[in-house]
Structure 1
Amino acid sequence: MVDSIPSTSGAAAAQFLQVSGPYHSNHADIPIDVSPTPSRRSMKVFENIRKKSLSEWSLVLDIIRGGSRDSVDEQFRHPERVSASTGNLNKKGKKKILRFGTMSPNYIHKQLHIVQEEKAMQLAPSGPIDASKFVAYVTERRKKRILFKGEYLMIMRSVDPLRCECNVASTMGDRNQYPDTLPYDYNRVILSIKGNDENSHYINANYVESWFKEKAYVVTQSVKSKAASHEFWRMIWELGSNTIVMLTKVFDFMRVMCLQYWPITRFQFGEIDVETIETKTYAHFVIRTFRLKHVHDTTGQNARLVRHFHFTEWELNSFPYISAFIELRRRVRQWIEENPTETPIVVHCSNGGPRSGAFLSLDANMELLKKTGQVDVYGYSKILVNARQHLIETVEQYHFIYDVLYEAVLCNIEPIGMFQLKDRSSMYKSKKDRELMEAQDSHENKLLIALTPSLRIGDCAGGHRLENRGKNRDVMVVPPDHARPYLQTLHGESKDYTYINAVEVDGFTRKAEFIVTEWPKQQTVDSFWTLIFDHSCHTVVNLTNQQNSKMYPKFIHDKGKQNYGPFVVEVLNYHQYPAMTSHMVKIMKRVGIPNKEQHYQLAPPLRF
């Protein structure tokens, strides 16, 4: 039992440091001098830790007496304090006295954190986790994030230094784009030797195994030179791979991350002829199909199709949209299932490091989940760190891998085919099927709510500024700054003319394909038309019909011209339909170029 701390006086501090009961210090014979009196800040730290748990408080007392656990003593003990090598004696052979007043709160917090990390490492999973328990497992670790740190530290300790050597790579100089990311000798990709270049066998790439295949992946670095592009395509040809996954932008934050090593139409890279036959662009990735042919193959009988999956929305020093990352992996697997092969998937980011490791962990664990109903992030991460440098790099990246698999396991929702949608809709007609579908819809809605991150006031700072508060219909419905469209045309008398209550929403094929906004207020009608003009909107869909009033002013007329701030809006034609009205209008900026837009409005009576 630990005595309480009634005050910060010297006598009270002496009583406060007395320990009785089951606790025993490794250095209990070290006298503790409580003069000078501990600072109020130190005492507050001690009191907070004591209230948290008696076990942690015992650790603090152990630190005060000269050290905590043996592993902590060896690594983090200050030289002026008691160490394992000198015992409890100073240079003159007298017992050391640890002055309580010299113990800083930062030092104690650091020592306590180290001990907590040691405890967390002991709680690392011993094997795969069933899918039914995985969500609860991740949820618990999110509450105690140091458990992620414990797993990460254990993974880093699992690297085999005798096996993971880079003797060959360290002699290759400029063939390595990043000198700190080198392939291990035992599993590096070895190419055929070309001509008199004795180093032509080398490329910065490693084989990486999955749970069910020894050479399931090849992880390599980005292409940053013409010579490297030739070596890259030679590797693809010699491996026979039909799948490339690229996880970096070509250009990001004023840096060239990777050269465009594929042609717009057709180009010859060394002895490999590459032709682009199809390009499909989506909101977060681009899928390209190449036809590869060796220049010595005049008949074209050995031509191959290679699918290139380029994830374009992973910015530097950030993490991507998880659902898009999962969708990219789903499309990769769909292609492989339709075009089965025993050759490895080639994966690269900029340095062939953490981004590639995240994709491999997602894919390998999803395959494990599919075949066994289990997930093993911890176990596969040990495989990754022993396969290539930096595949697991930071605690944040390791946490991101868990977040991705958490969403993948929790949702596990496959897309519905176009022809299946009709059958699904017809299930609402029968009472029995309708109840089942409504339960499914309710479940999906709960998942959406659970997976949607909460916004803080700081995330929506623009909408909460004093000059912008009157521009919002509801103070609780304010757009986050990272998603709102900024206005460019100067209008009105507001200090912040860039703000409007609106958000950009991605579509399936284009980023920021939609802009969602509220019915304009009396003072924001000009901003509404500024939004349409500045962001080149050609279609406006209005899904409500409000009577013209001060609360809901009319922002489009049936005929003629109307001035809105710096714009003149002219109605070219107007049509009344049974359930909607249509306006074709021309927007003219007094100093700009006319722009046309199509405007639709649902007209009453409309019943749901």
Structure 2
Amino acid sequence: RVQPGSRWVFATLVSMACVGGILVAAMTVACLRHHAHRLAAKKLGLGPEEGSFSHQEYQDLCRQHMASKGAFATAGAGGGTDSRVSSVSSQFSDGAQPSPSSHSSTPSWCEEPAQANMDISTGHMILVRTLFILSHIKYDHSRVKLKADSNPSRSDYINASTIIEHDPRMPAYIATQGPLSHTISDFWQMVWENGCTVIVMLTALVEDGEKQCDRYWPDEGSSLYHIYEVNLVSEHIWCNDFLVRSFYLKNVQTQETRTLTQFHFLSWPAQGIPTSTRPLLDFRRKVNKCYRGRSCPIIVHCSDGTGRTGTYILIDMVLNRMAKGVKEIDIAATLEHVRDQRPGMVRTKDQFEFALTAVAEEVNAILKALPQ
């Protein structure tokens, strides 16, 4: 019981308790929203070091996702918009990201019914849920699968993805992680089963004291990797920036033999980009001269098979389309198309800018070569 003279004290205490409870609840909600915001930014590849992802941009992204009805899913079909360019550019982070296991993908965003009047909080939760789902999906539609009965571990897995340019029946590239000591035989099995004749290597074996890739070919003579005998035929230092190796590959079970060529680019640092685009463009020209007329995919790898690998594939794909006479090229949409098949392709903003610069310089060189 409360004495009549003490009722105001009791009422004050109850009011203070209520206000305190409301403040605690508000702070809890704010903290949860802030945590969800950071989680979404992390899933998008926007680390804190990026510093350019504002709250307004995030709201715009939510609204865009709710209203676009899967616009990103058709990004690779051509036709660019400013919103798509900005959305792709916002995904770059200069910081390191974890290497994916062999994911390929469904469209970049799952399709949701458009709701133009949806509030930001609801859109935020759907976006976070979408990102969570995408981060746990195995993108099997573009994962390279080995023949398990021919594999020593009876597994069909290798960290590699097919990259299709336009014809789903004929992949243009295989993007893969650099072979490690325990995956070398898997790598050569992939080479054999996909009929590949050209390998593009974009990493040194060791960079800054850290192993990036194991030597998957013999120093001289031949080496046997499970049932695949690899013979080093020649090694030619083409210039200071790259060298070319020729191999003779034999399946000792069937006694079939093939020849293939490895192009090894030496001037791309693990952290950063080449100082000039010209060496890489010359390197690409040499690769394509060897590959011309082939119908098998080109194997491209760096250390993890995403950053440098994705940048090279993006440059090559765009320039190949130009060479075929395509009138309009949407580079941002092309990148979305590539990322739909292997996530993380082109890891940093610098790499994307390097790709744009390389394309621009090659176009400028072509224009200069035309008769005036």
Shorter-normalised TM-score: what interval? Answer: 0.5 to 0.7
Distance 2:160 2:313 in 1: 14
CA deviations on 1:146-199 (whole Å, 9 max, x unpaired) are 9965432379993446677555xxxxxxxxxxxxxxxx3221111112379664
Give the TM-score taking structure 2 as reference length: 0.64
Deviations 1:116-173 (A, max 9, x none): 6777998x9988579xxxxxx9xxx9xxxx9965432379993446677555xxxxxx
1:357 and 2:314 aligned: no
Structure-2 change in CA distance of 1:275 and 1:365 (3 Å)? same
Name the counterpart of 1:269: 225
**Equivalent position SS for 1:333:** helix
Larger Rg: 1
Larger proportion of helix: 2
Find the residue that maps to 1:303 and give its secondary structure: strand
Aligned residues: CA RMSD? 3.8
Q: Check 1:369–1:115 CA distance in 2 against 1; reply closer, same or farther (3 A cut).
A: same
Give the 3-state SS of the residue equivalent to 2:267 in structure 1. Answer: coil
Q: CA deviation at 1:220?
A: 0.9
Give the 5 Å matches for 1:173-572: 184-194=139-149, 199-211=154-166, 214-225=170-181, 227-265=182-220, 266-281=222-237, 282-298=239-255, 302-320=256-274, 321-337=276-292, 340-371=293-324, 372-412=326-366
Give the TM-score normalised by the residue count of structure 1.
0.41
Residue equivalent to 1:115: 56
Match of 1:493 in 2: none
Aligned partners of 2:201 and 2:266: how far apart in 1?
Answer: 9
Deviation of 1:344 (Å): 0.9
Mapped pair 1:158 → 2:108 = yes
Distance 1:254 1:403 in 2: 30
SS in 1 for 2:352: helix
Question: How far is the alpha carbon of 1:398 from its aligned partner?
Answer: 2.1
**Secondary structure of the equivalent of 1:352?**
coil
Question: Where do 5+ consecutive residues of structure 1 fail to align?
Answer: 1-78, 84-109, 131-136, 168-183, 416-435, 441-608
Q: What is the total number of aligned residue pairs between the two structures?
A: 279
Give the counterpart letter for 1:269 in structure 2: Y
Instruction: Indicate if the aligned counterparts of 2:234 and 2:246 stay in contact, CA closer than 8 A.
Output: yes
* 1:114–1:326 CA distance, 2 compared to 1 (3 A): farther
C-alpha deviations, 1:358-396, integer Å up to 9, x for none?
011111111111111432211111112211121133333
Distance in 1 (alpha carbons) for counterparts of 2:284 and 2:215: 22
Q: Which runs of 5+ in 2 are unaligned?
A: 1-25, 31-50, 65-70, 94-106, 111-129
DSSP-derived class of the 2:149 partner: coil
Q: Deviations over 1:10-67 (max 9, x none)?
A: xxxxxxxxxxxxxxxxxxxxxxxxxxxxxxxxxxxxxxxxxxxxxxxxxxxxxxxxxx
What secondary structure does 2:223 align onto?
Answer: strand
Larger relative contact order, structure 1 or 2 (CA cutoff 8 Å, min sep 6): 2
Distance 1:118 1:194, change over 3 A: same
Q: Determine helix, strand or coil for the equivalent of 2:253.
A: coil
Q: CA deviation at 1:212?
A: 5.0
Change (3 A) 1:159 1:280: farther
The whole-number CA distance in structure 2 between the counterparts of 1:332 and 1:189 is 22
Any idea what SS the aligned residue of 1:397 has?
A: helix
- CA gap of 1:324–1:128, structure 2 versus 1, over 3 A, is farther
Residue number in structure 2 paired with 1:499:
none
